[in-house]
Chain A
Amino acid sequence: MTVQTLMDALKLTVLTEGDLSAEVTGCYCGDLLSWVMSRAEAGDVWLTVMGNINSVGVAVLADIACIVLTENAALDAEAKQRAIDNDVTILTTGDNTYVTAAKIYELLKE
């Protein structure tokens, strides 16, 4: 499944567009950035409510496929620019992390 497929299936809104053809191989949920930094794996979709500049750094460091900000959590302007500069895809949804993760689980099973 690509980021584009995920976006279409979950009707996610694009905040910043990186490589939409990136392969999604897993999912990680978490809001403590240091925790995510040392545990998320390359190819994961990362579900979080943290839309600050360090989130983008974590995404690059962990080489995740994309960030999904759940519950329409805000992305601050500085973080948005950093994401654009680093080709990080950031998507958003009104669903909470649990519901979003459950949907992604089903998609990844297919």
Chain B
Amino acid sequence: MDYYYDLHIHSCLSPCGDSDMTPYNLVNMAALMGFDIIALTDHNTAGNCRAAQKAGEAAGITVVAGMELCTAEEVHMVCLFPEADSAEAFSAFVKTTLPPVKNKPHIFGNQYYMDEQDAILGEEEILLLTASSLTVSELPARVAEYGGFCYPAHIDRDSYSILSNLGMIDPSFGFRAVEIFDPQKTESLKVQHPILQQMKIFHSSDAHYLDKMQEPAHKITLPENTPQALLTYLQSL
């Protein structure tokens, strides 16, 4: 079956995520818009994924537990996991790799943990908008230890992307998928970086605000609409 996806969405746990991006709101907005499968990918944390999955069960939409990890080179990577448990375990590990810089909510924004009914459970004190000490080259194996899969985020962006910060996608990294934010840039990027011709290309919204979520336009073919099926597919690439 083909499923409409958006595998890169932020919640209010990301400091730059709007306070309206509660797990309940973003999941129900995605369901209303007609998505079949979405991933919650907050900066360097999977702390709101369980709540989003519970909201997803109620709304009838598959929610993949994920994270947008910022590597030591400040390259953003989409990391996806088969279930909330493994995402949370990875998230706990990532926290030990972040600098102990405290968030200043008036500058960066609040970092709220929420349940599936929008109740605030707490606030993350460590600033999530920093870089992990994990490098691009070691990340795929680290994520795989937790049953997950990762690929470079928004490679067409001028900042926090593998192309902006490292200049190229070295084949030794072994990436089999990438995210390109603007679908119109896909063909020219494939010409500039032929390595992309062999890769699965995803287009996701990277939405930090409800009104920045994009209409369903991109589909993925999976045997069934579950996070496990998505991960099995990604690992087969």
Contact = CB atoms under 8 A, between A and B. Distances in A.
Interface of A: 32-35, 37-38, 50, 52-54, 56-57, 60-61, 86
B131 A32 contact: yes
B101 interface: yes
Given A34-B70, A34-B131, A37-B130, A60 B159 contact: no
Interface string B94-118: 0000010100100110000000000
B234 interface: no
A61 B107 contact: yes
Contacts of B196: none
A61 B100 CA distance: 13
Q: How large is the interface on B (under 10, 10 to 19, 20 to 34, 35 or more residues)?
A: 10 to 19
B73 interface: yes
7 contacts: A33-B74, A34-B99, A35-B131, A37-B130, A52-B159, A53-B16, A54-B129
Interface in B58-86: 70, 72-74
Contacts of A56: 107
A108 B53 CA distance: 56
Q: Per DSSP, are chain A's interface residues mostly helix, strand or loop, or mixed?
A: helix
Nearest to A86: B107
Given A37-B99, A54-B129, A32 B104 contact: no
Contacts of A52: 159
Nearest to B98: A34
A50 B72 CA distance: 16
Contacts of B104: 57, 60-61
A61 B101 contact: yes
Contacts of A54: 129
Interface in B155-178: 159
Contact of A32 (B16, B73, B101): B73
A53 B70 CA distance: 16
